Amino acid sequence: MFRLLRAEILLNSTRAEEVVAQLDEPMPSGAQFAPLAARKLMLEGQADSILGHAEKSAALLAEAHRAAEASNAGEVLLDIENIQGARALRSNRYDDAERFLRSALQRARALRAPYPEASVLVNLGMIRFTRHRYDEAAGFFEEASRRAGPQLQVLYSVAQSNLATCYSSLGDYDRAIRIYAMSVAQYERSGAKFYLQRSLGQTGHTYLLKGDLKSAVPFLQKALSIASEMRNTADAASWAGNLSAVYSELGDWRNAASLNEEAIRLRTTAGVNTLFYNQLNSARIASGRGEVAEAVRLYSEILADPRDDPSVIWEAHEGLGDIAVRQHQPAEAARQFETALNVVEKTRSELLRTEFKLPFLTRLMRFYEQYVDTLLEQQQIEPALAVADSSRAQVLAERYEAAPARRLAPDAFQALARQTNSVLLCYWLGAKRSHVWVVTGREIHYVELPPEGQIEPLVREYQDAIEQRLADPLRKRIPAGDRLYEMLITPLRTWIPPGSRVILTPDGVLHGLNFESLPLPGETPRFLIQDVTLALAPSLALLAGKPRHPVAAHRLLLLGDPLSNDPGFPRLPQAEQEIAGVTRRFGGAANVVLRREGATPDAWSKAAPGGFSAIHFTAHAVANRESPLDSAVLLSGGKLYARDVMEVPLTADLVTFSACRGVGLRTYSGEGLVGFAWAFLHAGAHNVIAGLWDVNDQSTATLMDALYGELAAGKRPADALRAAKLAMIASPGNLHKPYYWAPFQLYTVAP
């Protein structure tokens, strides 16, 4: 028994030759020793696997399996099947690996053994990870983390590190970096250098994907140093290859080439045959050095070799597109970028979970940017608008059963403007320059704007003045507001006459700006809302598709004024007044009002919200920046989460979320701010009114009373909300300040 335990310890240190010598003596005969004999065979099989004796290892493990079955040694069978599954995975025999590991998982659960169960779950996740199914892999690593718990520290950290790598591959960089930071700290304390260098390297790789090259370099250099010191050539090759990619991004072709050559040498030494990432590096380096023919040859070889990693395919097409741009071949560049986008959009659409689809485009918006810039350089204004708009609201589009690439024809935009009787504005922010398209019923115009770096600080400054300092732009000019109007609106005013209906799709930091609050220049001070009716759309293509369902009969569902035991969220003093005003204004005998102890999460689902034309919430809410779908409205006895809202189909023409930051805190590339407004649109609501910042309880009750009065008079939501805001602007006292009326915006997919 002690000899077997010592052999296991030696195996954990990969001292396989000592294990073979340790287990050379035969086991005693007798039924009582049969389980130990099976374990001895298993350990011998592991040792031979480490020594590279694949056939002998497989035979010993199979014999161990038979011996364990004969002796009814469940724990030994569990360990053997986990090992067999891991070996099959390393040999890319995925079906065999799945079969062994599924059997091992059943045994672990039957034995109520958390460590083996977590270990098997990690291996099941690695099957998906190796096949680039990062969304599926993440589910297994999440479950493994729960089963291991912090008490099984090493296994927990391995599961968490693997989970972070999935997040990184799916574009959720900040979440990945937070997990890696904890792993690095733990491995530095424990001295586990093998895992330390992997966590350091993956942190550097994530910073590379994020575009933070300065932060990437020290992590990758330290990982390379430790891996080289340990003679871990396979990992050292990965970190050298990543450093090569960093230097390529920096245009340091000498260091990029040197590190890429070192990575190839290390991979070859380690017997690793997958060199396509290094080939991508070689192609980028050749292109950067002006060796166009060599770069084209390398990219073409990559595309000619079929593989299952979509990132390799889209990056090769991107590289060919870059070359075509520099060779002044715009048609070829557009073809390559279009092909890359098709791969990107198909890959994103196949992800299983919404929270993984949301960040996916973060690392890939550059494809759209390059494509848009290429088209604009050719003066192809309408196709450029179509490409830019097709990057928007892809996850929402799936709710409406739209195809992954929703690319409107150029004449469809003008038809949409006529159909909605609106001027359509599509903003697009970029590092070198920004863009805006103006679509009327007769024509499409394009205006180049300053780069995002000039716009962003102005938005932050203006929002701070309105939200934090409760400034009044009409009584004391705010330079940031004046500059924003001059940048974003003045060049377009020729096509936006007073009285216009405007539907706007923002981008980047503009998601946090209420355009209505911008002050107009001139002697008579007024806000933009006093000239136009404004609504926000996730994308123009979504507006072009008619709603998939009719609006429900005239009925209101209202949840509000819930009970609270949390002193951080006291009862809203004006909640009763707001509820009374909304129900009185809305009218109708079939309304359902759930208040106080009746306003519970269960009551929401039991009320069958899909049968109401209007839904209203009056309650506290908390926005979750890290996981926006875990944003919640606080009801009696619990929380109603955004992820739960989006799963219940709605037919409402209007959902009004009278709570703090209902729009959300986190902006995703392509999807915009994700919170309750996004969740309700995903559920099927045609229009959603929600707040950008923490709202004032008393002024909100006033605004909502006026809003529902205008709705009762027959106005559409956008017109009703504008009329309610104008009434506040015209009122005496402080309510005319944007702080009180500007947080609420209308988001629409069916104006």
At residue 220, the pLDDT reads 97
pLDDT, mean of residues 283-310? 90
Q: Residue 548: what pLDDT?
A: 55
Dihedral sign for Cα 99, 104, 110, 113, please: negative
pLDDT of residue 34: 67
Find the CATH number of the domain harbouring 590: 3.40.50.1460
User: Could you tell me if 137 and 47 lie in one domain?
Assistant: yes
Q: Could you tell me if residue 358 is inside a domain?
A: yes
To which residue do tokens 């539907």 refer?
Answer: 503
| Residues 493, 497: Cα–Cα separation, whole Å | 6
The total of other beta-carbon atoms located within 10 Å of residue 389's CB is: 25
Residue 634 belongs to domain spanning: 549-748
Q: How many distinct structural domains can be found in the chain?
A: 4
The CATH number covering residue 371 comes to 1.25.40.10
- Residue 259 included in any domain: no
- Specify whether 149 is located in the same domain as 59: yes
* Per-residue pLDDT reduced to its tens digit, 466-491: 999 999 999 999 999 999 999 999 99
Residue 26 has pLDDT above 60, yes or no: yes
Report residue 616 as tokens. 């209203």
Contact 345, 405 (CB under 8 A): yes
Do 407 and 362 lie in one domain? The reply is no
10 within domain boundaries: yes
Q: What is the pLDDT of residues 401-442, one digit of tens each?
A: 544 446 788 789 999 999 999 999 999 999 899 999 999 999
Name the phi and psi angles at 248, rounded to 5: -65, -45
Question: Residue 460: its pLDDT value, please?
Answer: 96
One domain, residues 193 and 107: yes
Residue spans of beta strands (DSSP E) within 56-135? none
Clarify whether residues 561 and 623 are in a common domain.
yes
319 falls within a domain? yes
- Residue pair 572/618 in contact (Cβ under 8 Å)? The answer is yes
| Span 678-700, pLDDT tens digits | 999 999 999 999 999 887 778 99
Task: Assess if residue 257 is contained within a domain.
Answer: no
- Looking at 371, 388, 405, the residue that finishes a domain is 388
Please tell me the predicted confidence (pLDDT) of residue 167.
94
Domain assignment present for residue 284? The answer is yes
Domain-terminating residue out of 388, 410, 441: 388
Residue 269 forms part of a structural domain: no
Helix H or strand E segment including 267? helix 253-269
**Mean pLDDT, residues 309-321 taken together:** 91
Lowest-pLDDT range, 348-357, 672-681, 741-750? 348-357
Residue 627 has pLDDT above 90, yes or no: no
Average pLDDT, rounded, for the chain: 88
- Residue 564's identity, in one-letter code, is S
Residues 80, 186, single domain; the answer is yes
Does 379 share its domain with 409? no
The answer on 561 and 517 residing in a single domain is no
268 lies in a domain?
A: no
- Assess whether 186 and 282 both reside in one domain: no
CA distance 23 to 7: 8
- What is the DSSP secondary structure assignment for residue 132, as one 8-state letter? T
Nearest to 263 by CA among 276, 244, 246: 244
pLDDT tens track for 220-260: 999 999 999 998 898 999 999 999 999 999 999 999 999 99
pLDDT value for 65: 78
Q: Is the pLDDT of residue 16 over 70?
A: no
Shared domain for 564 and 536, answered yes or no, is no
Residue 98 reports pLDDT greater than 90: yes
Task: State which of 331, 357, 388 marks the end of a domain.
Answer: 388
Residues 422, 329, single domain; the answer is no
* Alpha carbon 153 to its chain's center: 28
Asked whether residue 270 carries a pLDDT value surpassing 80, the answer given is: no
20 against 235, higher pLDDT: 235
> What is the mean predicted confidence (pLDDT) over 643-672?
87
Q: Which pLDDT score is estimated for 525? A: 87
Q: Are residues 382 and 399 in the same domain?
A: no
